[in-house]
Structure formats: structure tokens, C-alpha cells
Amino acid sequence: MMPDTLMWIMAVLAMGAVTFAIRAAPVVMPKRWLKSNLLMALNFALPLCVMTLLVLSSLHVDAPSQSSYYLLAEILALSLVWLSYRLWRNVLVSMMVGVAALNGWLWLLANMP
């Protein structure tokens, strides 16, 4: 068995190699492969799929330690982030709106009578 430190170093090196290979692929691949219908469709659909997975994984649906208002606050903050991005098309502003909205909704919902 390998020590934990060596295993972690090997895991980080493997992740780095895979990341480098993925980033270098468009440079070394033939240009006609990059223009294929499959890669064009993947290029179109992948960002939406990744964002959907990130949003769904960030919602705490059944966290027993959280109050019932937490999911509601997350959904309300997410809707404000979506609205701000649709209006201004600025990721930084949308991130700030999301953090402020989540904290604001949590405070408002927790202090309701």
C-alpha cells in the first residue's frame, strides 16, 4: 500500500495530466475534426449541461441540519442571479447579486415573525 501523501501527489499529477491533455487537444487535433457536427453540437450543449449540474448539485435539498427556509432562499437567490445575468450579461455582477441575495433571503426568512 502506498502512503497517503504519495497517493495524493499521484492523484494531483494525474488530474494535471488529464487537464493538460484536454486543453492541448484542440491544438493538436486536425481542423476538420473540430468542424464535425458532433463536436459542434457538443460545443453548443455542454456549457448549459455543466451549469445545470452545478446549480442542481449546489442546492441543499435534503440537508437535515438546515432549516426549511434554506432551499427557498437558494431558489429565490438563484432566480435573482438569472435575472441579473439576463439584464447585464456580467458574471461578476451576477455572482455578487447571488451572494448578497442568498444572505439577504436567509436573514429575511429567519427573522420572519
3-state secondary structure the chain: CCCHHHHHHHHHHHHHHHHHHHHHHHHHCCHHHHCCHHHHHHHHHHHHHHHHHHHHHHCCCCCCCCCCHHHHHHHHHHHHHHHHHHHHCCHHHHHHHHHHHHHHHHHHHHCCC
For position 72, what pLDDT does the model report?
85
Residue with cell 432551499: 71
For position 20, what pLDDT does the model report?
96
For position 41, what pLDDT does the model report?
92
Looking at this protein, which amino acid is placed at residue 1?
Answer: M
In order of 19, 31, 42, 97, the CA distances from 27 in angstroms are 14, 9, 17, 37
For position 64, what pLDDT does the model report?
59
Mean pLDDT by 10 residues, the chain (113 residues): 85 96 92 90 86 76 66 89 89 90 91 83
For position 24, what pLDDT does the model report?
94
**CA gap 110, 104 in Å, rounded:** 10
Beta strand extents in 5-113 (DSSP E only): none
